[in-house]
Structure 1
Amino acid sequence: MNRSYRAKSTLEQWRIFQAVVEQGGYAQAAFYLNKSQSSLNHAVGKLQNMLGVQLLQVTGRKAELTEIGQVMLRRSLSLTQGIEELEGLALNLQQGWEPEITLAREIIHPTAPVHQALKSFLPLSKGTRVKIIDTVMSGSEEMLTNGNCQLAIMPVLPKGYLGEPLINIEMILVIGASHSLAKRRNSLNVSDIAPHLQIVIRDTASQPKENQGWLRAEQRWTVGSFYEAIDLVKEGLAFAWLPRHLISAELRSEELIQLKVLGGSIKRMESYLVLPDAEQAGPATRLLFDQLLESHATSSS
């Protein structure tokens, strides 16, 4: 971008040009804009002379676009729309509408109801950006307590925080069909599993609580996502705690096998939506909060 460039045309000239095209002629545009026809003729003529191209060709009383005019019209519409959005954003910010919302989302949480909420939020967002940060275990709590997010979706509520329940999530202990434990899937103790490799998901907190979900495995590999964990477990390399909703297809095809371990091989948890400071939350944050509650209520009904 050349910051020293000085525009020769004005937004008013482009708006007049657009009105002449949209209304079908100078007389109609003059009535629509409540201006004299001569002033519109002068504005468009001056614009054409400055650009050195013909934008309109008048046939009778009708103004028609030239080929160059068609190209310039499309670009000018983007320009004037951008200015309107910029001015609207300034007004929204003046009224307390937030420019950006950060949502911390625990990665075990299903994405479909979140995406539905965002779809509903978009046409009402008034230009507010949304940043979604995927977190694992104590990562959500850290973002929340450090004030780094306006909303959080998490399975464990930190002390002193309230949350709205969204959905129940089930974590199950699984292995690949080719794993040596597959034949003994229904009669295992923790001591049977401990010698085998376990896949765990990396805690995203700066000071992670690394022992969460650990089954005293002698070997442990840490990965950054459940999708990588699923692939490694399917290869028969290890066992892992995985969300049932992410592996339903693999369970049906028996690529993954659910283990039955004495003492428990299923962990159920409730996912919560947390608005850390309801009194200070801006209108965009409250709107997205409501959309998230509504989308989850719809998905669970």
Structure 2
Amino acid sequence: MLRHARQLVENAERIETLANYFTQGWEPEIRIAMDTIFPEDLMLSVLNAFASEHPQIRITLVESALSGTDEALLRHEADLVIGGHVPPGFTGHFLLNIQFLAVAHPSHPLHHNDAPLTLDDLKSHRQLVVKDSGSRRLDAGC
């Protein structure tokens, strides 16, 4: 009986804490759409810190690409978006620069070029394409 009573008290305390959060304007869930170019380890570190301070708030993280990130915001599928630009009509803050690098195996012909690589150098070789997760499909070659 004592064990059940303790569980009931713990549940009541959780409900009281949740009610406190809601009266302060906190939502029970935060839905985040994050573009795949954003560093995952950084995001997971931030989410871990947030969850430690606010364990009652559920976080849903969806990875998206290109226009899919904007669409998640426009379709009200996300409360917060981390992407490459701010969609018209919304406000945003700059977080960080991300540098893209062309990579190839050391035996690839691009490694034998002494001059800095240009877009024309890259065009004649195989590309990996990031598929757009949005309905507009603005695929980007890498």
Give TM class, smaller chain. Answer: 0.7 to 0.9
Q: Over alpha carbons, which structure has the higher Rg? A: 1
* Distance (whole Å) between structure 2 residues aligned to residue 162 and residue 103 of structure 1: 15
Q: Tell me: higher relative CO, structure 1 or 2? Use CA pairs within 8 A at least 6 residues apart.
A: 2
Change in 2 beyond 3 A, CA 1:161/1:135: same
Give the alignment of 1:202-281 within 5 angstroms: 202-210=131-139, 212=140, 214=141, 241=142
SS of residue in 2 equivalent to 1:81: helix
Length-normalised TM-score, structure 2: 0.79
* Distance (whole Å) between structure 2 residues aligned to residue 124 and residue 192 of structure 1: 49
Query: What corresponds to 1:167 in structure 2?
Result: 96
Give the alignment of 1:47-58 within 5 angstroms: none
SS of residue in 1 equivalent to 2:95: strand
Is 1:201 paired with 2:126?
A: no
SS of residue in 1 equivalent to 2:85: coil
Pairwise CA RMSD: 2.7
* Distance (whole Å) between structure 2 residues aligned to residue 193 and residue 113 of structure 1: 30
Show structure 1 runs of 4+ deviating over 6 A.
none
1:154 to 83, 89, 97: 83
Is 1:145 paired with 2:69?
A: no
* Distance (whole Å) between structure 1 residues aligned to residue 25 and residue 118 of structure 2: 57
- TM-aligned CA deviation for residue 101 of structure 1: 0.4
* Distance (whole Å) between structure 1 residues aligned to residue 116 and residue 24 of structure 2: 63
SS of residue in 2 equivalent to 1:157: coil
Change in 2 beyond 3 A, CA 1:192/1:99: same
Q: Percent identity?
A: 29
Higher helix share: 1
SS of residue in 1 equivalent to 2:133: coil
| 8 Å contact from structure 1 (residues 92, 126) kept in 2 | no
* Distance (whole Å) between structure 2 residues aligned to residue 192 and residue 170 of structure 1: 19
Segments of structure 1 that go 5 or more residues without pairing to the other structure are: 1-8, 15-72, 215-240, 242-301
* Distance (whole Å) between structure 1 residues aligned to residue 78 and residue 114 of structure 2: 42
SS of residue in 2 equivalent to 1:197: coil
Alpha-carbon displacement from aligned partner over 1:249-282 (angstroms, at most 9, x marks no partner): xxxxxxxxxxxxxxxxxxxxxxxxxxxxxxxxxx
Is 1:100 paired with 2:36?
A: no
Aligned length: 142
* Distance (whole Å) between structure 1 residues aligned to residue 52 and residue 87 of structure 2: 33
| 8 Å contact from structure 1 (residues 140, 152) kept in 2 | yes
